[in-house]
Amino acid sequence: MHHFYSFLGSSLLSAYASIIAYLIIIVELVIALLLSLKQTKTFGLYLSYSLMVAFFHLNLPDIKLQRFYSLFL
């Protein structure tokens, strides 16, 4: 959590870093609940995918991920 918090602190969202760090945990728990219920499994899957895509794009400045991402361009 400390690494994630420091990552948010170095971005444009630094004023809201602590709130966002805890909000992500809550969102992940809600998504896990949605995935466990049969009626909301598809919606939970879409939310989970959206969260993964959002974090993938946030981490692109990392050199290793840029090399990985360049393989698909």
CB distance 55 to 42 below 8 Å: no
Alpha-carbon span 58 to 36, nearest angstrom: 27
* pLDDT at res. 18: 77
Residue 26 reports pLDDT greater than 80? yes
> What are 32-55's pLDDT values in tens digits?
999 999 999 999 999 999 888 877
Report whether pLDDT(30) > 70.
Answer: yes
Residues 40/34, Cβ–Cβ less than 8 Å: yes
Q: How far is CA 56 from CA 5, 35, 52, 68, in A?
A: 16, 21, 6, 11
What is this structure's pTM? 0.61
Give me the pLDDT at residue 19, please: 83
Q: What is the pLDDT of residue 13?
A: 61
Can you give the pLDDT at residue 45? 95
